[in-house]
Amino acid sequence: MSFAETQLKNLQTPALVLDEAKMMRNIQRLAKQVDGLGVSLRPHLKTVKSTEISRRLLTDGSGPATVSTLIEAEVFAEAGVKDIIYAVGITPQKLDRVAAIRSKGCDLAVVLDSVAQAHAVADASARLGLAIPALIELDCDGHRSGVVPGDPVLLEIGRVLHDGASELRGVLTHAGESYEIQGRHGHEIFTEQERDAAVQSANALQDAGMPCPVVSVGSTPTAHSARKLDGVTEVRAGVYAFFDLVQAGIGVCDLDDIALSVLTTVLGHQHQKGWIIVDSGWMALSQDRGTANQRIDQGYGVVCDEAGQMIPDLIVIKANQEHGIIARRPGSEGKLPALPLGTRLRILPNHACAMAAQFTEYNVIPADHEADLCVWPRFGGW
Amino acid sequence: MSFAETQLKNLQTPALVLDEAKMMRNIQRLAKQVDGLGVSLRPHLKTVKSTEISRRLLTDGSGPATVSTLIEAEVFAEAGVKDIIYAVGITPQKLDRVAAIRSKGCDLAVVLDSVAQAHAVADASARLGLAIPALIELDCDGHRSGVVPGDPVLLEIGRVLHDGASELRGVLTHAGESYEIQGRHGHEIFTEQERDAAVQSANALQDAGMPCPVVSVGSTPTAHSARKLDGVTEVRAGVYAFFDLVQAGIGVCDLDDIALSVLTTVLGHQHQKGWIIVDSGWMALSQDRGTANQRIDQGYGVVCDEAGQMIPDLIVIKANQEHGIIARRPGSEGKLPALPLGTRLRILPNHACAMAAQFTEYNVIPADHEADLCVWPRFGGW
């Protein structure tokens, strides 16, 4: 146990705990993987929402990066990130904020998938006298937004952006459905779907005489399973820095790679039911149940001891606002461990983005075993 | 449309919107109902986490009140609330904070259901030279924590509290299972279960020569359906100030009573699928799916226009982190309304406590139709 781990006993619970050594191992793993593919990595900062962590994720702290909200773009631009894609479809009402961020020296690009949005971006660029760059979002797997590859609207959107006062920056896609698939073989299929959608669309734009400098793909499962990415210029991924039970369940990481947990305290028992009650409900753990339909349903989280060692077959089976109910996994055998009043435990997340979002700070166990537990702030909002 | 409603167009989305007129109607409804029962009302402030709203919930702003975290107790005590129950089972590690709040003049009581907790409270009271009051939690419906009525451990816990340096303040129960039952008749059964558990246990303590001044029951469904509460001294409820789709689904309120919503903006469409995509995912709406097992599954929320008028059969069928997908309710008939890029909508919550927790401020439409939209801060954490 590191010195910082012994200091966990001083925290009020629930508290969000981050294991820096595991996080750095996760960061290095993907950096090495993407480096071997000859493309650049554009980490998605929506998971971490922390400038302390963005400095560890971004090679020289300046980018490239992906964000999911304009407040992220504002905070990270202020912290020196110079190259950001805001990867949620733009609305006209947000373009003044985009322009304000760009005018401070950050190359912020937006994402869109319709002619109406392209006109809004071109019009705002003309009105503001500043070329807003936009990537055309592609729907490679039916997950959510995006132009379906082969749809001629792609060229129409490209034309509006390119001929207008705006800038056609490239194409972007995200295989969100890859989170539903277990195993490397399945992820490789999604990786190729992402690549194919992006490269095919980039070629279509270029064949029509338009530029497409950025060809952006990625999700944590597909980024880890990619073997070759011909025609792609960059890969995006987010949750890989922390990992979580969903990623472990689909085989992208091991349970021991998960760097994030909630520290909690036992407040009671219902002995006849085999329940241990802790002071972390969904307000701390989040209501994410991403493992509900996986081979192993991890409830609201896997239970570890205070040092982070997993307790076999113990999960949070139910969560109310400020209460979590811990019990043995349904169908498992063996005795419930004695975890008396006041015992400290740590709960691993279904989804790291969701658990982290419930807190305003990380309690960090530094990679240096002799160092003190420290606090890194985390922001939220839009 | 009030003047403040016309100002919603100036907000960046997603944004949390509160209709003060509806909230005040909800507050007055329960105040009148509980007043008719001859008991006092102890609102649960975990839903609102706002001193602006606590002043509207508490008769003279000073209490009594219920909270679910110590940060709530600290903030509301600082704002002048003098009588608070912290209604989550106490852990030994939190008792110094409890004592600090008490020493500033707020009568903060804790809740517990074990001999071990009673000893911790008695010992801390002796060590700190200050009698910490505790209520014994009862399990009236198998929902979560609490002593089962009739269990002799009740008297043992009472004895430790009463004979120690602590104070035995009374008994408390909460029919959390009433949220799963539709209709007034079902709620009345839970109301009687709460009353019976509490009164039976209070009598047992008194018969054994111990005091039991407070007999506390309540949940939003049972508080609204109570007809007589002989032997009870107070009723607790929380979500009734805002109401939500879960409460509407079990018949405690109408959809039109729901005072809370998220303002969102249309960012795109997948026309072939009948999808409208908005800039509010689970980060804004929460992941609460409390209506999933109700007669009508409302998805991640019911869709209204910008003025708060429901759009028939339109719900959020899927939520990613920052994207919501709106579609017609499965099985419903009719055309998807034309909601072009940039259209503003409002989404009603499954669970008001969970939606509100995703935000740091309320954008309030004042009850006064001529008044400006205003902002009330909201806090979180523990």
Q: For residue range B228-280, list pLDDT tens digits in order.
A: 999 999 999 999 999 999 999 999 999 999 999 999 999 999 999 999 999 99
Contact of A92 with chain B, judged by CB distance below 8 Å, is answered with yes
The predicted structure's pLDDT at residue A59: 80
pLDDT digits (tens, 9 = 90+) for B301-353: 999 999 999 999 999 999 999 999 999 999 898 889 999 999 999 999 999 99
Can you spell out the DSSP letters for B82-95?
-EEEE-S---GGGH
Q: Are A295 and A64 in contact (CB under 8 A)?
A: no
Q: Which residues of B touch A266 (CB under 8 A)?
A: 91
Q: Distance (Å, rounded) from C-alpha A173 to C-alpha B74?
A: 47
Find the mean pLDDT for residues B370-379: 97
Q: Distance (Å, rounded) from C-alpha B243 to C-alpha B236?
A: 15
Spell A313-326 as b/e; 16+ CB within 10 A means b.
Answer: bbbbbbbbbbbbbb
A116/B340 CB distance under 8 A:
yes
Is A334's pLDDT higher than 90?
A: no
Find the mean pLDDT for residues A195-202: 97
Q: Which residue is closest to A326 within chain B, CA to CA?
A: B144
Domain A3-15+259-377 sits in CATH at 2.40.37.20
Q: Which residues of A touch B340 (CB under 8 A)?
A: 116
Question: What residues form DSSP beta bridges with B86?
Answer: B67
Q: Is the dihedral of CA A136, A141, A144, A148 positive or negative?
A: positive
Instruction: Provide CATH 3.20.20.10 ranges for chain B.
Output: 37-241
Q: Which residues of B touch A320 (CB under 8 A)?
A: 144, 176
Confidence class of residue A358 from pLDDT cuts 50, 70 and 90? very high
pLDDT digits (tens, 9 = 90+) for B172-203: 999 999 899 899 899 999 999 999 999 999 99
Taking CA A8 as the corner, what is the angle to CA A61 and CA A298, rounded to the nearest 5 degrees?
80
Spell B286-314 as b/e; 16+ CB within 10 A means b.
Answer: bbbbbbeebeebbbbbbbbebebeebebb
B13/A93 CB distance under 8 A:
yes
Q: Which residues contact A186 (CB under 8 A, 6 or more apart)?
A: A178
Find the mean pLDDT for residues B86-113: 98
> Mean pLDDT across chain B, nearest whole number?
97
Is A60's pLDDT higher than 90?
A: no
Instruction: Provide CATH 2.40.37.20 ranges for chain B.
Output: 3-15+259-377
Q: Which strands form A133-138's sheet, in the order they lie side by side?
A: A40-43, A234-237, A214-217, A167-173, A133-138, A107-112, A83-86, A65-67
Strand-pair category, B107-112 with A83-86: unpaired
Q: Are B222 and B190 in contact (CB under 8 A)?
A: yes
Contact of A91 with chain B, judged by CB distance below 8 Å, is answered with yes
Q: How far is CA B130 from the centre of its chain?
A: 30
DSSP code, position B148: P
Contact of A321 with chain B, judged by CB distance below 8 Å, is answered with yes
Contact of A139 with chain B, judged by CB distance below 8 Å, is answered with yes
Residue of B144, B263, B280 to mutate when probing chain A, most A C-beta within 10 A:
B144
Q: Which residues of B touch A289 (CB under 8 A)?
A: 287
Q: Which residues of B touch A13 (CB under 8 A)?
A: 91, 93, 382
3-state SS, residue A300: coil
A145/B270 CB distance under 8 A:
yes
Tokens representing A312?
């076999």
Q: Are B47 and B352 in contact (CB under 8 A)?
A: yes
The minimum CA-CA distance between A14 and chain B, rounded to whole Å, is 7
B91/A267 CB distance under 8 A:
yes
Angle, helices B70-78 vs B95-103, to 10°: value is: 10
Residue of B45, B341, B351, B360 to mutate when probing chain A, most A C-beta within 10 A:
B341
Strand-pair category, A133-138 with A107-112: parallel
B382/A176 CB distance under 8 A:
no
Contact of B93 with chain A, judged by CB distance below 8 Å, is answered with yes
Is B113's pLDDT higher than 90?
A: yes
Q: Distance (Å, rounded) from C-alpha B323 to C-alpha A91?
A: 12
Q: Which residues of A touch B73 (CB under 8 A)?
A: none
B287/A354 CB distance under 8 A:
yes
Confidence class of residue B15 from pLDDT cuts 50, 70 and 90? very high
Residue B89 burial (CB count, 10 A): 25
The minimum CA-CA distance between B203 and chain A, rounded to whole Å, is 23
The predicted structure's pLDDT at residue B112: 98
Contact of A119 with chain B, judged by CB distance below 8 Å, is answered with no
Contact of A282 with chain B, judged by CB distance below 8 Å, is answered with yes
Instruction: Provide CATH 3.20.20.10 ranges for chain A.
Output: 37-242
Q: Which residue is closest to A286 within chain B, CA to CA?
A: B287
> Mean pLDDT across chain A, nearest whole number?
97
Q: Distance (Å, rounded) from C-alpha A332 to C-alpha A292?
A: 17
A341/B94 CB distance under 8 A:
no
Q: Which residue is closest to B320 within chain A, CA to CA?
A: A144
Q: Which residues of B touch A113 (CB under 8 A)?
A: 268
Q: Distance (Å, rounded) from C-alpha B243 to C-alpha B264?
A: 20
Q: Tell the residue number behind the tokens 């005795």, with chain if given.
A: A335
Q: Would you state the CATH architecture of domain B37-241?
A: Alpha-Beta Barrel (3.20)
Q: Which residues of B touch A267 (CB under 8 A)?
A: 88-91, 117, 145
Contact of B341 with chain A, judged by CB distance below 8 Å, is answered with yes
Interface of A with B in 186-245 (CB under 8 A): none
Reference B174, options B200, B203, B197; nearest CA is B197
Q: Which residues of A touch B357 (CB under 8 A)?
A: 283, 358
Q: Distance (Å, rounded) from C-alpha A145 to C-alpha A136?
A: 11
B144/A68 CB distance under 8 A:
no
Q: Which residue is closest to A340 within chain B, CA to CA?
A: B116
3-state SS, residue A126: helix
Is A61's pLDDT higher than 90?
A: no
Q: Distance (Å, rounded) from C-alpha A263 to C-alpha A363?
A: 10
- CB-based contacts of A82-86 (< 8 A; 24+ apart in sequence): A82/A106, A82/A107, A83/A107, A84/A108, A84/A109, A85/A42, A85/A109, A85/A110, A85/A111, A85/A135, A85/A172, A85/A216, A85/A236, A86/A110, A86/A111
Q: How far is CA B272 from the centre of its chain?
A: 40
The predicted structure's pLDDT at residue A118: 98
**How deeply is B130 buried, as exposed, middle or buried, from its count of CB atoms within 10 A (0-12, 13-18, 19+)?**
middle
The minimum CA-CA distance between B121 and chain A, rounded to whole Å, is 12
Contact of A320 with chain B, judged by CB distance below 8 Å, is answered with yes
Find the mean pLDDT for residues A272-297: 97
Residue A334 burial (CB count, 10 A): 9
Reference B135, options B253, B58, B214, B199; nearest CA is B214
Find the mean pLDDT for residues A1-7: 92
Q: Which strands form B107-112's sheet, in the order they lie side by side?
A: B40-43, B234-237, B214-217, B167-173, B133-138, B107-112, B83-86, B65-67
Is B61's pLDDT higher than 90?
A: no
A12/B139 CB distance under 8 A:
no
A268/B14 CB distance under 8 A:
no
A340/B116 CB distance under 8 A:
yes
Q: Which residues of B touch A139 (CB under 8 A)?
A: 270
Domain A37-242 sits in CATH at 3.20.20.10
Q: Which residue is closest to A267 within chain B, CA to CA?
A: B91
The minimum CA-CA distance between B40 and chain A, rounded to whole Å, is 24
The minimum CA-CA distance between B246 and chain A, rounded to whole Å, is 14
The minimum CA-CA distance between A324 and chain B, rounded to whole Å, is 9
Q: Which of A18-22, A193-197, A254-258, B184-188 has the lowest mean pLDDT?
A: B184-188
Q: Are A183 and A126 in contact (CB under 8 A)?
A: no
A288/B287 CB distance under 8 A:
yes
Q: Which residue is closest to A285 within chain B, CA to CA?
A: B287
